[in-house]
Amino acid sequence: MKYFPSVREQLSHLALVLVLVYVSNASEYEYLSWKSDIYHTGGRIYGKPPQCVDIPDDLRLCHGVGYNRMLLPNLLEHETMAEVRQQAGSWVPLVHKNCHPSTQVLLCSLFAPVCLDRPIYPCRWLCEAVRDGCAPIMLAFGFPWPEMLTCEKFPQDEVCIAMSSSNATEAMKPAGDSPICPPCDNELKTDAILEHMCASEFAIKTKIKEVKKENSDRKVILQKKRRTVKLRNMKKKDLKKLVLYLKNGADCPCQQLDNPHNTYLIMGRKVDKQYLLTGIHKWDKTSKEFRKAMKKMRNHKCPAFETVFK
């Protein structure tokens, strides 16, 4: 027997659409209505009933996203705000990389879902668009696209979160001819330096001896004289014969690697059997941003990337 929604259900659905349109005007969100009921409960049995709570100022990923209240537990099964903060903090650097115009839309729809009477998941194709733009950036730092964002589990024929029309237009624009090099951000910005440091297992002060192309990577050989700035999960003896690789960076523009005579703050981490270059910044004590970053580095609390990107 074919199901026909009641007038009350139709009005409820209309109210939902109107709320979603209102939210999309306040932020970069747009919601599309489809017919399937596969995700109507979100597939989640919460330990406690969802509540509508304020998005705190220190939830950097989603504070100011366009609405002020979110559901908790969220759509990633985080039941406390402390857990949301800890997990969401790992994604802030990716948003800063501008790898896709809807990265924040996708993430905040899951970490800080808008308060409605039913869970609304991101559209599968939105997830795929963000993944295709951002996964290469994450791989450059040695982080795979995580299982919690497996796009196939999101709906494609249901009420779901999509890109706004402006974002869709932006996403369809052809990329430039030159690929980007995420570890080679040229600007000496405190936040960028700290984000690179947090994605790294070590940071050293040294000069570059030689740069070679090796398949699709760039191989960076360092001078023997080097000073340790930070070590995490590594020993000093591991740094003695250190050779770094800029993953898939054979042809990407990296001003620092073109000027090997300068002294650099070089950061990296071990992935499989290789050491990846995760950050390279000119050692410039005349820069206020650089000095601030070096000072903050001593006590800066980093997000726990390993608990998220696995």
Q: Looking at residue 211, which CATH number applies to its domain?
A: 2.40.50.120
Same domain, 246 and 108: no
User: Does the pLDDT of residue 114 top 80, yes or no?
Assistant: yes
Give the rounded distance of the alpha carbon of 287 from its chain centre: 27
| 171, 206, 224 - which closes a domain | 171
Provide the pLDDT confidence category of residue 303 given band limits of 50, 70 and 90: confident
Separation CA 214–CA 227 (nearest Å): 27
Same domain, 156 and 193: no
Same domain, 19 and 154: yes
- 69 assigned to some structural domain: yes
Separation CA 305–CA 94 (nearest Å): 12
Same domain, 39 and 156: yes
What are the residues whose beta carbons fall under 8 Å from the beta carbon of 209, sequence distance 6 or more?
221, 222, 223, 260
Same domain, 160 and 227: no
Q: Which residues pair with 79 in a beta bridge?
A: none
Map 248-290 to HEC letters.
CCCCCCCCHHHCCCCEEEEEEEEECCEEEEEEEEECCCCCHHH
Same domain, 160 and 216: no
- 177 assigned to some structural domain: no
- 244 assigned to some structural domain: yes
What's the pLDDT tens digit per position in 121-173? 999 999 999 999 999 889 888 889 999 899 999 998 778 998 754 444 444 44
Same domain, 13 and 162: yes
Which one, of 177, 187, 87, 95, lies nearest residue 133 by Cα?
Answer: 95
Give me the pLDDT at residue 188, please: 78
Give the lowest-confidence range in 30-39, 182-191, 288-297, 301-310: 30-39
| 138, 171, 204 - which closes a domain | 171
User: Does the pLDDT of residue 213 top 60, yes or no?
Assistant: yes
Pairing of strands 160-163, 202-214: unpaired
Same domain, 117 and 192: no
- 176 assigned to some structural domain: no
Provide the pLDDT confidence category of residue 290 given band limits of 50, 70 and 90: very high
Q: Going along 63-198, which residue ranges are E strands? A: 69-72, 121-122, 160-163
Q: How many folded domains does the chain comprise?
A: 2
- 241 assigned to some structural domain: yes
- Domain interval for residue 187: 182-307
Same domain, 197 and 293: yes
- 2 assigned to some structural domain: no
Give me the pLDDT at residue 241, please: 80
Greatest mean pLDDT among 172-176, 268-272, 297-301: 268-272
CATH classification at residue 66 = 1.10.2000.10
Provide the pLDDT confidence category of residue 220 given band limits of 50, 70 and 90: very high
Give me the pLDDT at residue 1, please: 40
What's the pLDDT tens digit per position in 173-194? 434 444 678 888 766 788 888 8
Hey, what long-range contacts does 172-179 have (CB within 8 A, 24 or more apart)? 178/251, 178/252, 178/253, 179/248, 179/249, 179/251, 179/252
Q: Which amino acid is at 240?
A: K
Give me the pLDDT at residue 184, please: 86
Mean pLDDT computed over 81-90: 91
Q: With contact defined as beta carbons under 8 Å apart, do 280 and 256 qualify?
A: yes
Same domain, 152 and 268: no
| 171, 192, 226 - which closes a domain | 171
Same domain, 123 and 167: yes
Mean pLDDT computed over 10-31: 37
Same domain, 163 and 264: no
Give me the pLDDT at residue 304, please: 67
Give me the pLDDT at residue 168, please: 47
Mean pLDDT computed over 88-98: 88
User: Does the pLDDT of residue 18 top 60, yes or no?
Assistant: no
Which one, of 117, 92, 108, 301, lies nearest residue 192 by Cα?
Answer: 92
Give me the pLDDT at residue 56, please: 94
